[in-house]
Amino acid sequence: MDRIEFDTTIEREGVIRIPANLTNGLRNGEAVHVTVAPEPAERMTVKRMREHPIHAPGFKPLTREEIYDWNK
């Protein structure tokens, strides 16, 4: 069986339900591997990074010449 990924919420007592359309090929009692990764509270998107840049003291962006001169 191929891997499946889906987003869901944890129900009572830690129950995670697999959506019905993704249960094809799964059988009761079959061993499966489960990885749980909590959804981050706020996704760091490019838009958000542009709107809220992180300022680092002493940071100096590279010049165009420095960018293209690195491999000489």
CA distance 39 to 37: 6
Average pLDDT over residues 6-15: 86
Pair 6, 38: CB distance under 8 Å: no
**Cα-based distances in Å from 22 to 3, 18, 53, 70:** 10, 7, 39, 49
pLDDT of 57: 93
Give pLDDT tens digits for 23-69.
888 888 888 888 888 777 677 788 888 888 888 999 998 899 988 88
| pTM attached to this predicted model | 0.43
pLDDT of residue 63: 92
Residue 33 near residue 3, CB atoms below 8 Å: no
